[in-house]
Amino acid sequence: MYKSGFVTVIGRPNVGKSTLLNQIIGEKISIISDKPQTTRNKIQLVYTENDCQIVFLDTPGIQTPKNVLGEYMLKVSKSTLEEVDVVTFMVDNSLEIGKQDSGIIEQLREINTPIILLINKTDKLSNTEIDYLVQKYEAMNMFEDIIPISAIFNNNIDRYINAIKELLPEGPQYYPDDMITDQPERIIIAEIVREKALLNLEEEIPHGIYVEVQEIKQRDNKDLLDVFVNLYCEKESHKGMIIGKNGRMLKKIGTEARNDIEKLMDTKVNLKIWVKVEKNWRDRADKVKYFGYKLS
């Protein structure tokens, strides 16, 4: 019997959702950062075996919105809960349940979709602490399975996949065997550039960054790819910081991004990034929509 279905992965920011999915898929598709609001869109990642296909939805972290973009991201996360076959709720190794996790738990009580709880970063916990957390969540009597994992070290990920298989219905193969995401290459490339900005820049600047791939062009000799990118920020002062003294910061972002893009595309890449200012775009519904975040 062939099983297939859709699985959303939700949780507050920075619990390791994208790390988990990249580990499962075996490719870097979702961007990873220690800063909130890393994932902005709903990204489908496809995991295929001989007897099943699991389509994972990596969604933005659930948190109180601070602007129009934040409202969009919250709407994306919430909308997936009733549309999927299995919900995965991920928490980290905190021994106490915080306000944001408690808020998500209250939302999850209102849905009928089966829920798997993943407790991530358990490589930093003792066995006694892991048992304590499992028992605390078991007492809620709302999860089909509770699995302690370490996404970064690939611990217990097989158990998680098997737990999903148990809950999936019989169904067709939705995507070809070799397809791992529904995102076009230019979207993945844009996310790679944005990730490098998130990793290298000061706290406030990256959240106001939007990356747009203008053109991907194969050279005639076929061994070099030209990639032209616009990187938008919200303030002139931010533009200066992104470029950096003598262009050093932009060069660092570009070099790190190019290395990942070359792995993704399996060819040498000439990456050109232009930094532009679009003032306060996250607070402007017209610009949020123009940049591809559908608000309705």
Long-range contacts of 59-66 (CB under 8 A, 24+ apart): 59/8, 59/9, 59/10, 59/17, 61/11, 61/12, 61/13, 61/14, 61/15, 61/17, 61/36, 61/37, 62/10, 62/11, 62/12, 62/100, 62/103, 62/104, 62/107, 63/12, 63/13, 63/36, 63/37, 63/100
Question: pLDDT class for 155, splitting at 50, 70, 90?
Answer: very high
Phi-psi map region of 11: left, alpha, beta (phi>0 left; psi -120 to 50 alpha): left
Q: Go through the chain and tell me how many residues it has.
A: 296
Q: If we measure between CA atoms, which residue out of 67, 61, 32 comes closest to residue 234?
A: 67
Question: Do residues 90 and 160 touch, judged by C-beta distance below 8 A?
Answer: no
Tell me, what DSSP letter sits at residue 275?
Answer: E
Domain-embedded: residue 175: no
Q: Rounded mean pLDDT of 267-284?
A: 86
CATH code for the domain of 234: 3.30.300.20
Q: What is the pLDDT of residue 250?
A: 95
pLDDT at 161 (0 to 100): 96
Please tell me the least confidently modeled range out of 228-237, 246-255, 275-284: 275-284
pLDDT value of position 33: 38
Same domain? 98 vs 217: no
User: Same domain, yes or no, for 139 and 21?
Assistant: yes
Asked whether the predicted pLDDT for residue 242 surpasses 70, the reply is: yes
pLDDT at 131: 97
H-run or E-run covering 44 = strand 43-48
Residues 152, 273 within the same domain:
no
Is residue 123 a part of any domain in this protein?
Answer: yes
> Are 90 and 159 found together in one domain?
yes
Say if residue 105 is in the same domain as residue 15. yes
Residue 116 pLDDT level (bands cut at 50, 70, 90): very high
State mean pLDDT over 142-147: 97
245 secondary structure, DSSP code: G
Q: What is the pLDDT of residue 35?
A: 39
**Do 163 and 189 have their domain in common?**
no
Together in a domain, 23 and 141: yes
Q: How confident is the model at residue 59 (pLDDT cuts 50, 70, 90)?
A: low
Using pLDDT thresholds of 50, 70 and 90, give the confidence band for residue 292. Answer: low
User: What is the enclosing helix (H) or strand (E) of 232?
Assistant: strand 224-233
How many domains, in total, are found in the chain? 2
Confidence (pLDDT) at 83 = 78
Is 84 found in the same domain as 195?
A: no
Residue 177 lies in a domain: no
Q: Are 216 and 144 found together in one domain?
A: no
pLDDT, tens digit, 9 for 90 and up, residues 180-189: 776 667 778 8
**Statement to judge: residues 135 and 205 lie in one domain:** no
Q: What is the pLDDT of residue 171?
A: 92
Q: Give residue 60's pLDDT.
A: 54
13 lies in some domain: yes
Pairing of strands 52-58, 43-48: antiparallel
Contacts of 139 by beta carbon, 8 Å cutoff, 6+ apart = none
Which residues form the domain of 151?
3-167
At 288, the pLDDT band (50, 70, 90 cuts) reads low
101/180: higher pLDDT: 101
- Measured CA to CA in angstroms, residue 206 lies from 27, 189, 212, 282 at distances of 23, 16, 14, 12
216 falls within a domain:
yes
Cα 128 to its chain centre, rounded Å, is 31
Per-residue confidence band for 37, with pLDDT thresholds at 50, 70 and 90: very low
Q: Indicate the pLDDT class of residue 43, thresholds 50, 70 and 90.
A: low
Contact 179, 167 (CB under 8 A): no
Q: Are residues 144 and 268 in the same domain?
A: no
- Range of weakest confidence among 53-67, 154-168, 262-276: 53-67
Beta bridge partners of 54: 5, 47
